[in-house]
Amino acid sequence: MLHVLILAAGLGTRLRPLTCRIAKPLIPIVNGSPLARQVALAKKLGSGKIHANAHHLAEQVQNAATELGIDKVWVEEELLGTGGPIHRMWREGERGELLVLNGDCEHDLDVEIFLEKARNSGATCALLAIDNSKINTLCIDKEHLLCGIKNKFGTAGSSNATFTGISWYSAKAWEKIKESEKDIRDFWQHEIPFVLITKGTWIDIGNPKGLMEAINSTLNSQLSTLNSKLEVAGSAGSGRKYYRMQANGHSLILQQSHSEDQDFEHFVRYGKLFGGLGLPTPEIYAVDATERRVVMQDLGSVRLCDTEQPMLYYPLVLEKLIAWQEASEKAFELDSELAGRVFGESDYLWETSYFAENYLQGYLGMKEIPADLTEFFKNLAKRAAEQPRVLMHRDFQSQNVMIKESQIAFVDFQGARNGSIYYDAASLLQDPYMMLPAESIEQLFRLWHSANPFLKNTSFESAWENFLIASLQRIMQALGAYCFLSKKKGIKSFEQYIEPGAKRLKEVINLRKTLRVYPHLLYFPTWYHAEN
């Protein structure tokens, strides 16, 4: 009988923090896991019994075993190495020939041919290898037998190859493996294996680079679009797409940016920076800068705007925002580019220009922007730029706050800046996606103001004034974006937020009694034709 043992006990240290959450053989790679694919291979080969060993996050492997069709999981309280699990199976009564597969690689190698060649080789054990000049360590003689391993034992041989983790042992060889031979290479020194060098794709997923290579290889081999292979987990106005890779009860998010995404590098760098500071952002596990792909933690599908009782979460989100702002000094110290990425007067003027072009002119049909309105924009930008600066998310609205059980996390942070302490609070509380009642906005702002250590010497009245200034800026920027994305980019889903955004802008203007309210700012659709 052919037994198959899938090695699945490794710690996965090079893939941390991903492997702190998911056992390495169960990591989703597109639409499956390495363990699932090895089980499928074992079944194709006609295995009489499929085994797996487990140690790190062993319960995950055990939970997946029934789903996948693994007959027995051998849990190791202490790691037994590469030879120990094989000896243990023999000691506990398993008999027959044994094929060992590696649970942390992706490949398309012909293992059926390997088994045939191994059985006919005259040797009692065999190794499947590929030629990879960068990491070749097996030394092979002219008879295709192993004669050494670099830096381990033996002689140089006539050729070299890389071990794929796939090996075969006859019943005779299996019984000879000693308990002391926890490193299976010690056994190979005296029971000389036959080595078959084959061609094909073989990827070690033991590190982030290998993980991304495996994902790319799987995507390319299936010859279809991302949309047809994976569940769409979301999209952004920037054109980024998010896909959910799922396997055996675990999931990861694959972010795909377009080739012209100028903020891709910022997303990756800031994501690693914020994660290192313990800020509430998704962990980044692997990156392919060429393909513009990022593999990251799956924070679920529930955004703040999707929750049934959002008011329960707003205080918690504001608490996280304060922690985000408290990390400003450390973040700027660690990333000087971010510290110098000041969101200043020219940026605020760009926002109102964007608003004027896309909302006032593009949506409302205003032919020219009045001089007094332009002057208003300049004064507003100056006031906003004078506000105290902290780490600014820059797009801190309800669609960019993920809620998963008790966990709150921020996404789409690639636009982070060194900017106004009030801007993110305004983005969240004045968000047209949610349209919080005015009394709720003030109540939540009071909560944020009283708990924020940066504002302990700032009166509520002064803070509220600054908050309304930031609110005007943010709402105009959002209105400009809704019009641009719906009218020029053709993303019709944004059109529904234009009128709520316009309503919110009017409300803030009416609250802002210390500023002159320019009538041109009140050109909203319900009045526009009557006034012209």
Domain spans of the chain, in order of start: 2-204, 208-297, 304-531
Place of tokens 């990022």: 294
Q: Does domain 304-531 have CATH number 3.10.110.10?
A: no
487-517 in b/e form (b: 16+ CB < 10 A) is beeeeeebeebbebbbebbbbbbebbeebee
Q: What is the pLDDT of residue 110?
A: 95
Q: What counts of helices (H) and strands (E) characterise the chain? A: 20, 21
Mean pLDDT by 10 residues, the chain (532 residues): 94 91 94 94 91 95 94 93 92 93 93 95 95 91 93 89 95 92 92 94 92 91 62 70 92 89 91 96 95 94 93 96 98 97 97 95 89 90 96 96 91 96 98 94 97 96 94 95 90 92 89 54 42 38
First to last CA, the chain: 89
Report yes or no: 138 and 208 within 8 Å, Cβ to Cβ: no
Residue 226 dihedral angles phi and psi, to the nearest 5°: -55, -40
User: Tokens representing 191?
Assistant: 């029971």
Q: What is the pLDDT of residue 239?
A: 72
Place of tokens 């993110």: 424
Q: What is the pLDDT of residue 513?
A: 54
Q: What is the pLDDT of residue 283?
A: 95
User: Tokens representing 255?
Assistant: 């972010």
- Its pTM stands at 0.87
* Of the candidates 322, 327, 349, the residue with the CA atom closest to the CA atom of residue 338: 327
Q: What is the pLDDT of residue 532?
A: 38
Q: What is the DSSP-derived secondary structure letter of residue 358?
A: I
Q: Angle, nearest 10°, between helix axes 314-326 and 438-451? A: 40
Q: Computed from CA positions of residues 433, 524, 495, 355, in that sequence, does the dihedral angle turn out positive or negative?
A: negative
User: Tokens representing 300?
Assistant: 């679920």
Q: Does domain 2-204 have CATH number 1.10.443.10?
A: no
Class of residue 391 by CB neighbours under 10 A (exposed 0-12, middle 13-18, buried 19+): buried
CATH fold of 208-297 reads: Phosphorylase Kinase; domain 1 (3.30.200)
Q: What is the pLDDT of residue 356?
A: 94
Report yes or no: 127 and 166 within 8 Å, Cβ to Cβ: yes
Q: What is the DSSP-derived secondary structure letter of residue 75?
A: E
Q: What is the DSSP string of 164-186?
A: EEEEEE-HHHHTT--TT--SHHH
> Which residue type, as a one-letter code, is found at position 377?
F
**3-class state of residue 146 by DSSP:** strand
Please list the alpha-helical segments (H only) found in 409-454: 423-429, 438-451
Sheet holding 231-235, edge to edge: 231-235, 241-247, 250-256, 293-297, 284-288
